[in-house]
Amino acid sequence: MLYAGIAWNADGYQVEVVDADGGRAMDPTHWGAERVPELTRWLGGEGRQPQDPCAVVLESTNGLVDGLLTAAGLDVYRADPHHLGARPDFGSVPALALAELARTGRAALAPLTAEGGGQSGRDADYHDGIRRAAPVETRLTEAGRCFRHGPRERRDIALTFDDGPDPRHTRQVLDILARYDVRATFFCVGLHVRALPDEVRRIVDAGHGLGNHTWSHPFLPDLTARQFRLQLDRTSEAFDRAVGQVPDVFRPPYGARTPETLTALLDSGPALALWDVDSWDWARPGPERITRTVLDHAGPGSLILMHDGGGDRHQTVEALPAVIEGLLARDLRFVRADELAGLPDRR
């Protein structure tokens, strides 16, 4: 049995693998965010010896690789703050510490599944954070800087795609959107914006909107206000370098929020974009189920949550034409998320 730890930093992922005795089974490796599919195959046994089963531990501040790892059948676990020592404000604890936790402490960690995602086992913390954040969310809403949907009296609707850009699925989504001549919004993570700036440019050149989705897709209740602000600001800087613009909408990973993180949005920063229709595509229920979920719940003003990154999104790609055709048949007009909310166009 081998034990792997995956850490993240500004440049991508560091991976350490140890054996049953705690010794390094191989040299440390570095992987750019665009190489996560290759990393998944490598951890699964391709291209390395010995081809033993491998248990993997991630931090709760790393929500970008678990989807592919679990879909590949790897045993993946999440380490939360109380399992770890101090970590930097931007980045995770060292990969070797996570690998050692995989070897000695898996029984205390949350196992992750393709269906449950990186938030598995954190429902109580999730709902407590939302409850405590409600007063701040109300203030943002009253200021016109938080929205779940647009005006119901108009025929506008917004498709949104989270966790990209992805070197494969984002292009497929863009091709489908172009086929139907509809606009959407892509809530991108900073690690992927930095690694794949050409894909971000493709999104903008096609007339779609951009949104900030943090740098590493962390579980926000585990971040301090400073750590959250760094995630937000570094992602904005990556957008500025890639396309010369900074998104004016932000979506929290998993929809998680706390008063500490939302307070950081009160005085400045992007508007908070949630959703009123969850396609559940992240759980991979099948293209037909994804299509039916959207069409059963969407209507004028809806803000629809889908995904183009963060895992195997072929079901989303397969479902998208039927989703678009079903909504067009209702005489709905596709707009960007910022347009749906009535935010000033600062592009």
Please name the residue that has the structure tokens 């989270």: 162
The catalytically annotated residue of 169, 208, 213, 307 is 307
- At residue 119, what are phi and psi to the nearest 5 degrees? -90, 0
136-171 burial, b for 16+ CB within 10 Å, e for fewer? bbeebeeeebbbbbbeeeeebbbbbbbbbbbbebbb
- At residue 107, what are phi and psi to the nearest 5 degrees? -60, -25
Cα separations in angstroms, 138 against 55, 130, 135, 266: 42, 12, 5, 11
The catalytically annotated residue of 162, 163, 222, 248 is 162
- Asked if 307 is an active-site residue, the reply is yes
- Count CA atoms closer than 13 A to 112's CA, side-chain side: 30
- At residue 249, what are phi and psi to the nearest 5 degrees? -130, 145
- Asked if 169 is an active-site residue, the reply is no
84-96 burial, b for 16+ CB within 10 Å, e for fewer? beebeebbbbbbb
Residues classed as catalytic: 162, 307
